[in-house]
Amino acid sequence: MGKRGPVFTILFAALMAGTGNGISMVAFPWLVLQRNGSAVDASIVAMAGTLPLLVATLIAGAAVDYLGRRRVSMISDGLSALSVAAVPVLALSFGVDSVNVGVLAVLAALGAFFDPAGMTARETMLPEAARRADWTLDHANSVYEAVFNLAYIVGPGIGGLLIATIGGVNTMWVTAGAFVLSIAAILTLRLEGAGKPDLEHLPENVWAGIVEGLKFVWHNKVLRGLAFVDLTVTGLYMPMESVLFPKYFTDRNEPAHLGWVLMALSLGGLIGALGYAVLSKVMSKRATMLTAVTTLGVAVTVIAFLPPLPMILALCAVVGLVYGPIAPIYNYVMQTRAPAHLRGRVVGVMGSLAYAAGPLGLILAGPLADTAGLQATFFALSAPMLLVAAIAFVMPSLRELDRDPGPLGSSL
């Protein structure tokens, strides 16, 4: 394997796993909504796919540090493949009616529980892969997040087309196949730090190791500030993607248009992430963050008026564009402020905090959409987003984003 072989292997695995998740993002809510059109039921399944993330990402980070990055990546993708393949297997064995809301909620929860470990494992292998490829960390993170966004362009697009042609149940076979390809790629990976972990610096008790990761994030004010912004924005944004857009396009019987909207978000994100390697040389990380959060709040407010599809697509593309550089910034901050033996747990903690507010948003969004309507629900989400943007402008911790972190893992 050449010097760039490992980084390309990780990128391919991320593309395949992300594509599988992108298909699921469209298929799961569609399977629910085609039964009775209830946004509450869609919220239940979406929440089932979100609730495990809070705990799963914490466990995933510890698993990566204790079991090894390569091994965890393959196990995670294998279990994710089984959870989505169970949908067509149950339908073939017991009939389509057996795939009810309860079953879909359980399978969505299982998939959500397994996915974070694979994502965390691949992210934590990037610094070593970048060094071997002679890439800067900003460049590696930029390309990684661009590939991740590409997966969410390809995935929902494929999902919408497959649902329209072979149905939501059979679409899950393709999802499982994508995870299998990710496993096959990581199976060939040979990289420093990806195999058996060095247990010398790890607490013997896994729970103590998780607590160590939590304490590290809490005492690092930059990570703590980023966690606050990500937690609130994710909690407000997730209901839009998981419930409101699917509800809107299901009511209009336009599955392909739902795929287009999700693709527009990811296409903008792809361009934004790819452009970050250049943007980082002319624009500070703090300015990039503030621009992204403010634009998101304004765009969602305009979307709340439910304008024609072309405008919705344009706004979603803009949101993706300005938010594309954020994930590379998050990755860079975590990678440069956490020592290698803590990296998995720090990534896990940051991921779990980002998902902590998601279930609350989903609990409120579903019933509100059914009672007050989609427009009112969009406005109910956009107002707090604008408030978060205003708070971000005065947060002292975000001013530290562009400061040299000093020795790896130091607390700022």
| pLDDT higher than 90, residue 180 | yes
Domain annotation covers residue 360: yes
Band of residue 4 on the pLDDT scale cut at 50, 70, 90: confident
Average pLDDT over residues 101-129: 84
Select the more confidently predicted residue: 65 or 223.
223
Is the per-residue pLDDT at 283 higher than 60?
yes
The confidence score (pLDDT) of residue 357 equals 66
pLDDT given for residue 202 in this prediction:
66
Amino acid 412: pLDDT: 38
Instruction: Answer yes or no: is 346 within a domain.
Output: yes
For the ranges 152-156, 171-175, 230-234, the maximum mean pLDDT occurs at 171-175
Least confident of 7-16, 213-222, 291-300: 213-222
Q: Is 410 inside a domain boundary? A: no
What does the H/E/C string look like for the chain?
CCCCHHHHHHHHHHHHHHHHHHHHHHHHHHHHHHHHCCHHHHHHHHHHCCHHHHHHHHHHHHHHHHHCHHHHHHHHHHHHHHHHHHHHHHHHHHCHHHCCHHHHHHHHHHHHHHHHHHHHHHHHCHHHHHHHHCCCHHHHHHHHHHHHHHHHHHHHHHHHHHHHHHCHHHHHHHHHHHHHHHHHHHHCCCCCCCCCCCHHHCCCCHHHHHHHHHHHHHHCHHHHHHHHHHHHHHHHHHHHHHHHHHHHHHHCCCHHHHHHHHHHHHHHHHHHHHHHHHHCCCCCHHHHHHHHHHHHHHHHHHHCCCCCHHHHHHHHHHHHHHHCCHHHHHHHHHHHHCCHHHHHHHHHHHHHHHHHCHHHHHHHHHHHHHHCCHHHHHHHHHHHHHHHHHHHHCCHHHHHCCCCCCCCCCCC
Residue 282 tokens read as 């002319």
- Confidence at 204, pLDDT banded by 50, 70, 90: low
pLDDT above 50: residue 410: no
**Residue 62: pLDDT over 80:** no
pLDDT at 220 over 80: yes
Residue linked to tokens 């362009």? 153
CA distance 203 to 244: 44
pLDDT band at 411 (very low <50, low <70, confident <90, very high): very low
Percent of the chain with pLDDT over 90: 17
**Whole-structure pTM over 0.75, yes or no?**
no
In this prediction, residue 194 has a pLDDT band, given cuts at 50, 70 and 90, of low
CA distance 91 to 217: 44
Residue 412 within a domain: no
Over range 190-219, report the average pLDDT: 74
Specify the higher pLDDT residue, 292 or 204: 292
Residue of 358 and 127 predicted with greater confidence: 127
Residue 47 lies in a domain: yes
Domain count, the chain: 1
Query: CA-CA distance, 129 to 251, in Å (whole number)?
Result: 46
- Distance CA(239)–CA(248), nearest Å, equals 12
The pLDDT of residue 52 is above 60: yes
Does 242 map to a domain? Answer: yes
In a domain, 177, yes or no: yes
d(CA 210, CA 342): 9
pLDDT of 278 reads 82
* Mean per-residue pLDDT of the chain: 83
- The domain that contains 234 carries what CATH number? 1.20.1250.20
Judge whether 303 and 378 are in contact, CB under 8 Å.
yes
Can you tell me the distance from the alpha carbon of 255 to that of 409, in angstroms, rounded to the nearest whole number? 46
Residue, of 276 and 410, whose pLDDT is higher = 276
Pick 49 or 375 by higher pLDDT. Answer: 375
What average pLDDT score do residues 164-188 get?
Answer: 91
- Tell me which residue has tokens 């057996």: 98
Which residues, in sequence order, are CB contacts of 355 under 8 Å at separation 6+? Answer: 50, 53, 54, 57, 234
**Residue 322 CA to its chain's centroid (Å):** 16
Contact between 216 and 125 under an 8 Å Cβ cutoff? The reply is no
Q: Which residue did the predictor score with more confidence, 325 or 255? A: 325
CA gyration radius, the chain: 20
Contact 69, 124 (CB under 8 A): yes
* Confidence at residue 409, expressed as pLDDT on a 0 to 100 scale: 44
Domain that holds residue 364: 5-400
Greater pLDDT, 56 or 387: 387
Residue 341 in any domain: the answer is yes
Residue 230 near residue 395 (C-beta atoms within 8 A): no
Q: What is the pLDDT of residue 386?
A: 92
Rounded to an integer, the average pLDDT of 350-369 is: 75
Q: How large is the average pLDDT for residues 267-292?
A: 85
Residues 217, 349: Cα–Cα separation, whole Å: 7
